[in-house]
Amino acid sequence: MNTFPQLTGPGATGVGSMPGTDAREAAKTVIGSLDVLPHLPELPARGPGADMVGRSLGLLVELFARVEPSGWRFGDHPGRDTRRARSWLGEDLDALEEHTQGWTGPLKVQAVGPWTLAAAVELQRGEKALADPGAVRDIAASLAEGLRLHLDDLRRRVPGAQLLLQLDEPSLPSVLAGRVPTASGWQRLRAVDRQVAEETLRSLTGPLDVPVIVHCCAPDVPLALLRRAGAAAVSLDLALLTERDDDAVGEAVEDGTVFLAGVVPSVDGPLSDPAGSVSGVRTLWRRLGLDPGLLAQHVVVTPACGLAGASPAYARRALSQSVTAARSLTDNPE
């Protein structure tokens, strides 16, 4: 497992998405706000292909998808939706490259993981790909190759960057619990065996040779499974953790896992003072009896989820608040 890098300042970053449709403005905002751990912005407001799922479908190798009235569906050849997804990603990479000249620190990029893709995309015959284990294996293999090429491209564009890969898996708890609806919506797909889920993630991330973060903004994040699958860090909405998660969190910290703790609201509204934003992190740490001195090493502050639904002004404030809150944890761990 590649370990999470030691950060040179307050650990703060964004989840991925940003408001608006201007790639250069988004890159400028992210790079300007997050001077320790910036990320590649995503702009879903541009439409299908810029959305989380469509963007990642555009990374696949020898698998192609198109937009149908029911959503994304695999097809036989690349169509305009695939070309649009790849074009927008190219714009985003051009903008990132422009604003990271000389960058030598960590840089985070995001893609949807295989289980959430399989739960979101239909096969040609109309059922979710998740219903077909062979299709899931094909998605994982295609995504692994696509991510390898994507990371190689980023290394050429930002040669000094230390890349981190975030896999977005918000559907993983539902996949494991058998809560994913069929394409018709009348039934639920069978739960996936946890060992199969773990092995699929490990087979994808292991060969990529970058630290992997798994983002899951849903209840019941399978922390132990993600650790065994090779995740160096887990990104989650801290408000969704409950006391029944305490043992798994404590074991993860002791094992060296870093938590990207979503504590800053991701939609417009009043912001508390920065120290208040991370009060839940301190409460969790005290409840687990963990050394406060470990906070700066094991916690990176983020918004609760992506910022696509926020106004541009609020998105800038949320990223700045994340940085200030992270500094509060570093300076005053108690």
pLDDT of residue 333: 64
| Partners of 264 in the β-ladder | 303
Give the span between the Cα atoms of 317 and 319, in whole angstroms. 6
Q: Is residue 2 part of a domain?
A: no
Domain carrying residue 63:
23-331
Distances (CA, A) of 19 to 30, 52, 316: 11, 13, 10
CATH number, domain containing residue 174: 3.20.20.210
Q: Tell whether the torsion through CA atoms of 229, 288, 242 and 294 is positive or negative.
A: negative
Contacts of 49 (CB under 8 A, 6+ apart): 55, 58, 67, 81, 82, 84, 85, 87, 88
Q: What is the pLDDT along the chain (334 residues), one digit of tens a residue?
A: 689 999 988 899 999 999 999 999 999 999 999 999 999 999 999 999 999 999 999 999 999 999 999 899 999 888 899 999 999 999 999 999 999 999 999 999 999 999 999 999 999 988 999 999 999 999 999 999 999 999 999 999 999 999 999 999 999 999 999 999 998 889 999 999 999 999 999 999 999 999 999 999 999 999 999 999 999 999 999 999 999 999 999 999 999 999 999 999 999 988 888 778 888 999 999 999 998 888 888 999 999 999 999 999 999 999 999 999 999 988 876 6
In a domain, 7, yes or no: no
Residue 10 lies in a domain: no
User: Residues 110, 81, 100, CA angle at the centre, nearest 5°?
Assistant: 35
User: What is the domain count for the chain?
Assistant: 1
Question: 65 lies in a domain?
Answer: yes
Q: How far apart are CA 195 and CA 211, in angstroms?
A: 21
Whole-number Å distance between alpha carbons of 151 and 102: 18
Structure-token match 């992270």, residue found = 326
Whether residue 12 lies inside any domain: the answer is no
Q: Quote the pTM value.
A: 0.96
pLDDT at 120: 96
- The pLDDT of residue 77 is 87
CA distances from 204 to 142, 143, 144, 212 (A): 9, 8, 5, 10
Residue 1 lies inside a defined structural domain of this protein: no
Token readout for 138 is 């094909």
Identify any residues that bridge with 39 across adjacent strands, giving them in sequence order. 108
> Does some domain include residue 4?
no
Q: How far is CA 51 from CA 46, 48, 245, in A?
A: 8, 6, 31
Q: Is 322 exposed, middle or buried (0-12, 13-18, 19+ CB in 10 A)?
A: buried
Residue 42 in any domain: the answer is: yes
